[in-house]
């Protein structure tokens, strides 16, 4: 058995026909393939994203996607490997191939100087726990619209020229956090590409709004309006200062319009403090899990795994 870095053509031929029933969602197969290849050929994809297969000769035994990110923690930077789309063909399951593939990837990542490996588990989190991955807080939130403040504010649809202001708001919020995932320009490009592809939401209309002060963005919200669920599904929000932070509830209310609720992942610290009390429960999917590959990462993991009133990542960080 050996690990093979797969190019777009090989991955599309060997893996995507098998995984489409699981992850294509509402997309037809041609669109599923085209969007996967578009991500791989993006600036982020070319530098920080790989598709990997475990082969026995010409036989595919298991496959996965590998992402590279960076964590900030206590003034330090930790190199992180994200793991996604772990898959074993139906007829080969139960033989330990996915476990062997992940063990080989973790060993290689450790040897290459990476500090952390992480993933979002949709099924069988115990499988990853047996490989050393620790469950981290993974919760969802639901707010009634009538519980949000209603000061009059002027909101506008997020335009292409606003992304620089959005990034500035995000970074200002991140400075006040104990840890988080760093967003480089290439990561922002990746996030925006996935948003245009609508790969993160099977229903709803993308509704991204900003509040400006003068010509600059001082607060923003990203998400989708989903009348099917009578909810605005929040992806993330950010703000430039305390005055702008006070506008977030009204900004969310504007994004929701006539819908009854705001739902989404429980926001990280700093952002969570800007929302009123709400219904919070553990998520049944996309459970955030991580394993430390170095001593500095062990210190981060002990902090990240500690119960807290906020979670560690936005849903936009989901891979």
- Radius of gyration of the chain from Cα atoms? 20
**Pairing, β 2-6 against β 49-56:** antiparallel
3-class DSSP assignment, residue 130: coil
Place of tokens 């050929």: 41
Helices (H), the chain: 8-14, 16-23, 29-40, 43-48, 97-111, 125-129, 163-175, 185-197, 242-245, 248-256, 295-304
pLDDT of res. 199: 77
pLDDT of res. 29: 94
pLDDT of res. 303: 97
Domains 2-138+283-317 and 140-282 share a fold: yes
Cα angle, residue 189 at apex, residues 80 and 134 outer, rounded to 5°: 25
The domain segmentation of the chain, as residue ranges, is 2-138+283-317, 140-282
* Residue 289 Cα to chain centre, angstroms: 12
Cα separation, 208 vs 217, in Å, equals 13
Contact 252, 221 (CB under 8 A): yes
237 sits in which H/E element? strand 231-239
pLDDT of res. 26: 83
The pLDDT profile of the chain, 319 residues, written as one tens digit per residue, is 899 999 989 999 999 999 999 898 888 999 999 999 999 999 999 999 999 999 999 999 999 999 999 999 998 999 999 999 999 999 999 999 999 999 999 999 999 999 999 999 988 899 999 999 999 999 999 999 998 877 889 999 999 999 999 999 999 999 999 999 999 999 999 999 999 998 778 788 999 999 999 989 999 999 999 999 999 999 999 999 999 999 999 999 999 999 999 999 999 999 999 999 899 999 989 999 999 999 999 999 999 999 999 999 999 999 8
Give residues with Cβ within 8 angstroms of 204, minimum separation 6: 224, 225, 226, 227, 228, 229, 233
Cα separation, 106 vs 292, in Å, equals 10
Which residue, among 145, 135, 133, 56, has the nearest Cα to 101 in the 3D structure? 56
Which residue, among 20, 47, 73, 66, has the nearest Cα to 199 in the 3D structure? 20
Contact 237, 271 (CB under 8 A): yes
Looking at CATH, the fold of the domain delimited by 2-138+283-317 is given as Aminopeptidase (3.40.630)
3-class DSSP assignment, residue 289: strand
For 48-62, give the DSSP string. HEEEEEEEETTEEEE
Superfamily of domain 140-282: Gcn5-related N-acetyltransferase (GNAT) (3.40.630.30)
Cα separation, 57 vs 55, in Å, equals 6
């Amino acid at each position: 058995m050996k690990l093979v870095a797969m190019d777009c053509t090989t991955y599309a031929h060997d893996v995507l026909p098998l995984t489409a029933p699981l992850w294509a969602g509402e997309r037809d197969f041609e669109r599923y393939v085209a969007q996967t290849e578009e991500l791989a050929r993006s600036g982020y994809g070319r530098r920080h994203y790989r598709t990997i297969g475990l082969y026995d000769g010409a036989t595919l035994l298991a496959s996965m996607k590998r992402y590279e990110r960076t964590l900030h923690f206590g003034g330090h930077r930790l190199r992180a490997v994200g793991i996604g789309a772990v898959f074993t063909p139906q007829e080969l399951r139960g033989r330990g191939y996915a476990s062997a593939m992940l063990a080989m990837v973790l060993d290689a990542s450790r040897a290459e100087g990476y500090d952390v490996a992480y993933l979002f588990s949709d099924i069988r989190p115990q499988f990853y726990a047996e490989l050393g991955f620790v469950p981290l807080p993974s919760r969802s939130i639901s707010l009634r619209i009538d519980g949000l403040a209603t000061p009059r504010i002027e909101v506008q649809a997020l335009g292409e020229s606003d992304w620089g202001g959005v990034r500035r708001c995000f970074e200002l919020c991140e400075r006040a956090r104990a840890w988080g995932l760093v967003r480089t320009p290439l990561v922002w490009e990746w996030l925006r590409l996935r948003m245009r592809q609508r790969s993160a939401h099977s229903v709803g209309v993308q509704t991204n709004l900003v509040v400006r002060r003068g010509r600059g963005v001082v607060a923003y919200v990203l998400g989708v309006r989903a009348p099917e669920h009578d909810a605005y599904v929040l992806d993330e929000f950010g703000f430039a200062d305390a005055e702008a932070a006070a506008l977030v509830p009204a900004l969310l209310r504007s994004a929701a319009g006539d819908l009854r609720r705001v739902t989404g992942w429980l926001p990280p610290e700093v952002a969570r403090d800007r929302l009123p009390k709400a219904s919070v429960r553990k998520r049944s999917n996309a459970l955030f899990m991580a394993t430390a590959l170095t001593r500095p990462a062990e210190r981060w993991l002990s902090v990240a795994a500690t119960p807290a009133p906020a979670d560690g990542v936005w849903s936009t960080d989901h891979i």
